[in-house]
Amino acid sequence: MINKHLVADIVEQYVIGALDAESARFVEGHVAQCAPCAKLLQEEAALEVALHEVVRRKKVVSLNSRRRRIGAVVASAAAALAAGLVLVFSIEGEPPPAAQPKLRHCVDQSTASECISQGQFDGVITIGPDREPIIPRYDVTPGVGP
Amino acid sequence: MKHLIVIILCCSSLAGAQSDFRYRAARAPRAPVAQPMPLAVGGSYFGKQPRLRSWVQGWGLTGTRPDAYEVRCEEVFTDCAVPILRTRAFKSEPFGMGSLTHTESAETWRGRRVELKAELRSGAVRGWAGLWMRIDGKDKVLAFDNMQNRALRGTSSFQWYSVVLDVPVDAERITFGVLLHGPGAVFIRELAFDEVDVDVSSTDLIGPLRAASPAGGSTGGSL
């Protein structure tokens, strides 16, 4: 009998695809034997689906899918089926990450101030109107001080 | 004489006791004897997670939106495994960035080349993440690297990353850490700060940019 349960944070990471393969397999193995954790996974996966508005078709997803997030649904589907329920949705894969951050050139005098401020806020190196690099400060919080 | 500071964030065993992470600061003796890495109690950001206090001593959560980020333990059941810098909500779209940051005097490191390296992996990072280090002079940034040109993105497995900078003789402070921009998480399995040989290439991003500017590096980067 399983008397320890997964924490919500690890389940959330599993659903969004943030776990590595080994951890993901661990979660999948656990929920297959643990009804409370399967229910938690099911809730997290359903929430993810609702938030991303990607419910497209009423169909149990393929068990052969490699996508982790789909894997979350598969695992919860297995648990749901075991509980006499039917899980009938699929979800999209994780959106691709942003491109590598690039130097931000703020050489236009008319917009330089705003451009530089945004660059500092985003934590990237900017090039000012004088072509000098402006270095972001990570150890100072605006309005809070160092 | 070899000079060394090593900070290691160690994973504990699943049966670990109160101190799941050990924060080690060791230095070989040299004259003048340097002050040990500050061991102030971690800030309130970590107050609800006692296990984190043991390794975040001397570190702080900073950035342009530190309220949107947090440092937590990756937990399976009830035990910490790996500290995580992450957004408070994966499903929101926070702006700005957060950093797990440490600052110390440059006195001990002047005239040396130093490396910050860490074993990291990204989890669903939709912006970017990386190590960063800055060398400050009295009123000017002397060197800086934030891995902006080789950032972690998306979901990745654990790999070693490093930033390498020279510490000029007029350096006053060294500040370094792990940063995250946008939704996602950075998992920090191990982190170390150490002197390296000069045959290890510097990764300074600012020096080349200043050299290419009209002023040729004579200005800019003021604190």
Q: Minimal Cα distance from B183: which residue of A?
A: A97
The contacts of residue A46 (CB under 8 Å, 6+ apart) are A89
Phi, psi dihedral angles at B166 (to 5 degrees): -85, 145
Mean pLDDT value of segment B70-85: 60
Within 10 A of B174 (CB to CB), how many other CB atoms are there?
A: 25
| Helix residue spans in chain A (DSSP H) | 8-16, 21-31, 35-52, 68-82, 112-122
**Are B203 and B162 in contact, with CB atoms under 8 Å apart?**
yes
Q: What whole-number percentage of chain B has pLDDT above 90?
A: 30
What are the CB-based long-range contacts (under 8 Å, 24+) for A18-22?
A18/B90, A18/B123, A18/B124, A18/B155, A18/B184, A18/B185, A19/A68, A19/B123, A20/B121, A20/B157, A20/B158, A21/B157
Out of B121, B128, B175, closest to residue A20 by CB: B121
Report angle CA A125, A131, A137 to the nearest 5 degrees.
Answer: 25
**Are B167 and B115 in contact, with CB atoms under 8 Å apart?**
no
Mean pLDDT value of segment B147-156: 91
Number of domains in chain A: 2
The minimum CA-CA distance between A83 and chain B, rounded to whole Å, is 23
Respond yes or no on whether the N-terminal peptide bond of residue B32 is cis (omega within 30° of 0). Answer: yes
Residue A140 included in any domain: no
What pTM was computed for the model?
0.65
**Are A35 and A83 in contact, with CB atoms under 8 Å apart?**
yes
| pLDDT of amino acid B95 | 64
Q: Give yes or no: residues A110 and A44 share one domain.
A: no
| pLDDT of amino acid B222 | 55
Mutate to test the interface with B, among A49, A141, A144 (most CBs of B within 10 A): A141
Residue A62 included in any domain: yes
The minimum CA-CA distance between B125 and chain A, rounded to whole Å, is 6
In three-state form (DSSP H/G/I as H, E/B as E, the rest C), the secondary structure along B118-148 is EEEEEECEEEEEEEEEEEECCCEEEEEECCC
d(CA B12, CA B161): 22
Structural domain for A52, as ranges = 8-82
Query: So what's the architecture of B44-212 in CATH?
Result: Sandwich (2.60)
| pLDDT of amino acid B101 | 86
Q: Give yes or no: residues A116 and A59 share one domain.
A: no
| Residue B220 backbone class (left: φ over 0; alpha: ψ -120 to 50; beta: rest) | left
| pLDDT of amino acid B83 | 67
Within 10 A of A8 (CB to CB), how many other CB atoms are there?
A: 13
Distance of alpha carbon A33 from the chain centroid: 25
Residue A1 included in any domain: no
Q: Give yes or no: residues A74 and A27 share one domain.
A: yes
Residue A95 included in any domain: no
Q: Give yes or no: residues A121 and A61 share one domain.
A: no
d(CA B141, CA A41): 48
Q: How confident is the model at residue B162 (pLDDT cuts 50, 70, 90)?
A: very high
Q: Which is more confidently placed, B82 or B184?
A: B184
| pLDDT of amino acid A27 | 83
pLDDT tens digits for B37-59? Answer: 322 222 223 334 444 544 555 67
Mean pLDDT value of segment B155-162: 90
Weakest mean pLDDT among B9-13, B81-85, B174-178 = B9-13
Domain spans in chain B, listed from the N-terminal domain onward: 44-212
d(CA A119, CA B20): 37
Q: Give yes or no: residues A16 and A75 share one domain.
A: yes
Phi, psi dihedral angles at B127 (to 5 degrees): -105, -110
Q: Minimal Cα distance from B131: which residue of A?
A: A138
| pLDDT of amino acid B82 | 64
pLDDT tens digits for B97-149? Answer: 888 888 888 998 999 999 998 888 888 888 899 999 999 999 899 999 999 99
The minimum CA-CA distance between B135 and chain A, rounded to whole Å, is 11
Say yes or no for a CB contact (<8 Å) between A7 and B76: yes
**Which residue's entry shows tokens 């040990």?**
B36
Q: Is the ipTM of this complex over 0.95?
A: no
Restricting to A residues 94-133, those with a Cβ less than 8 Å away from any Cβ of B are 94-98, 100-103, 120-125, 127-128, 130-133
Say yes or no for a CB contact (<8 Å) between A138 and B175: yes
A84 in contact with chain B, both atoms CB, cutoff 8 A = no
Out of B127, B134, B155, closest to residue A135 by CB: B134
pLDDT by residue for chain A (146 residues), tens only, comes to 556 788 877 787 777 777 777 788 888 888 888 888 888 887 777 665 555 443 344 334 433 444 455 455 455 555 544 443 333 333 334 555 667 777 889 988 899 999 998 888 889 999 989 888 999 988 865 544 34
The minimum CA-CA distance between B30 and chain A, rounded to whole Å, is 29
3-class state of residue B207 by DSSP:
helix
d(CA A74, CA A67): 10
The contacts of residue A101 (CB under 8 Å, 6+ apart) are A122, A124, B127, B128, B148, B151, B181
Q: Which of A8, A67, A73, A69 is nearest to A37 (CA)?
A: A8
Which residue type occupies A141?
T
Burial of B140 (0-12, 13-18, 19+ CB in 10 A): middle
